[in-house]
Chain A
Amino acid sequence: MIKPWDQVRLRVVLAFPDLYEIGFSHLGLRLLYQYINKEHYLAERVYAPAADLEQELRKAGLPLFSVETRHSLAQFDVVGFTLQYELSYTNILNMMNLAGIPIKREDRGETDPLIIGGGPGSFNPEPISAFFDLFLLGEGEEAILEILAIIADGKEKGKTKAGIKQDLLKVEGVYLPEFYRVEYTDDGKIAALHPVASAPPVVQKRILRNFTAFPLPTADLVPWIEPIHDRAMVELFRGCTRGCRFCQAGMIYRPVRERSPATIEAYLQNVIAHTGYEEISLTSLSSADYTKIQELFNNLTACFSDQNIKLSLPSLRVDSFSPELAARFQSGRKGGLTFAPEAGTERLRQVINKNLSEEQILTTAQEAFAAGWQRLKLYFMIGLPTETDEDLEGIVRLAKEILALGRRLHGPKAGRVQVTVSASTFVPKPHTPFQWRPQISLTETERRQKFLKDRLVGRGLQFSWHDPSLSQLEGVFARGDRRLGKTLVKAWELGCTFDSWPDQFHWDRWVEALEATDVQVDAYLRPRAYDEILPWDHLSAGLTKTYLRDEDQRAEQGQITLDCRAQRGCSTCGVCSTLGAAPERAGGEND
């Protein structure tokens, strides 16, 4: 979409700090792109240039420019970065620098763009707070338009950035880091967090109160080159109240709000007619939990089967898997099937509130094999609170049992059965019940990985793991504070970009940057006391601290907490009362 540059009130460039192939697949930016362009503003896009393009740009002295009209980022009024993962932060600095925009807020003048951020990273943006003017906590559909209206008004009235920011303080969900002052204790903890002037002491996240009725865009982008997820996407629902205690998405996107099948169908019919996509992805945090999944599926099949459009359902839970459901969403060859038991023993699964019994997992695996699948992938985390070698042993046992099951069921084709165990390292995240928990050290991560590596050997078994140093860095920034800004700059100056790409990750440079800026990794991975001031205490996802603490204590005792959708009552997380919201189910039966 190309809008006339000179005939809009405000120009925004939406920036994804990773490659086009990744960034294009992100639904959130695609939605905002449509909502902004519908108004008297212009939204364009930019992605992080790969090393070869960066080199060419720097050699030719060209600034980083937008996809649509090739204007330099510096020529826009607003640059909006999405903060999807901590390890994309060096790319943000690099992109600003490539466009000639001073990376630090204090070095930018009146003519430089306002740099804003949104996405899950906004729930603890402290490590990057020196580089941004504003963060939006929570859902952006309405909020972005309110923010842009204030900026446009301010510009038209000749207000300075300071004046505009004063006005922006009033927008629900907006966090302006310069209005908060942090003091530290001698032992490196936070002594106090002071709001300055009229800033609210706590910024509450924004939610779209009429999410289920809010009009969906009438258009979508179609890429020339193939991104990782090359398809139309629609959220069946927002939020997830399963209550897994490690999961930040499950905490910060509450409450659950399901769209009606009719809304979803109408959107998809329109978007397919406008884009010609051949595949539809029904996305959500746990899509098979959608109340009306069967009805929706039947209707969509009726709509689209004659057009040869495939439906896909990502993120299947072990306990909501049925071979019938999976088969319906899978056309053609049976590739691999992925499940996430997360932990190796029932005890540990209760600790994290991922309440799957061993029997459920085995039954599901059996059903999958019986339905013809030969390759199963199992996701686990290592380093979860209270994990012992017994739990790691449980991963091995489970994988071997599933392999044996598959071999038995596939008989003569037993040799083709493959079970892959993928283990990532648990990183405690802000606004989750585990936000106070320690993260395991580099050496301990390596030991636990080796423990699994040594045991998950043999025909039909595969083990994959994450670079342990990457998880360390992710852990530092996930629960980081403002003092890490210097470290980030240093690492970027040392040449770090694309840190989430294992082949481009330079731990040695990061070690140098951490040392040069006097940062101890352990100081960020350590356990926190309940009464310690956390760097994100002035930012709220609507969850009460009491709820998070209670959940953490229930974890310690292995007590499970039920999904609030299960009609067995509210887990009193606080979201609904704090934000004036309520869970909504597609059937209309509100809890």
Chain B
Amino acid sequence: MMTTSPGGVGLILAGLAAFTAGSPGSRAEQLPRAAFQHGLELSTSEGHVTLGWGGEGAGLVYELQSAAGPDFAEPTVEYQGWDEASFLSGLADGRYFLRVRARRPQEAAWGPWSDTVELVCEHHSLTLAWALFACGGVLFLLIVLFVGVNARFLERFESSDA
């Protein structure tokens, strides 16, 4: 134990301990970590996704980055602020990589990046979409015709009856 070390050696060790406690590596350990609160492999066929995350401690500032590759060579900052979720929409077909980090509001240094989420966006086939669109259109027309023709027929029937 340092406190029980004799004389000068103890002082040197205590000084070393104080120095290492303030070193960059150790500070990094104290910086807040952020993590996604869902699985790391996500998929969507509608082009949107809600991402949720959290950090160690309350009132942290977060940064969410996205990129086209896992190396984040050309990252885009999707969000910076207090929120612990973000809804992304209007995504085209493709693979998206996302990561988040946190910092305390009074400090400039960011904590380490979280594990990376891989989001696969694969929209439904257009053939299916247009087929259902056509089916819906026909159904709508049938309802309009059925209600319109029968209501008109009843109206005429009643007026002739009167």
Are A and B part of the same complex? no
On A, residues with C-beta under 8 Å from B are: none
On B, residues with C-beta under 8 Å from A are: none
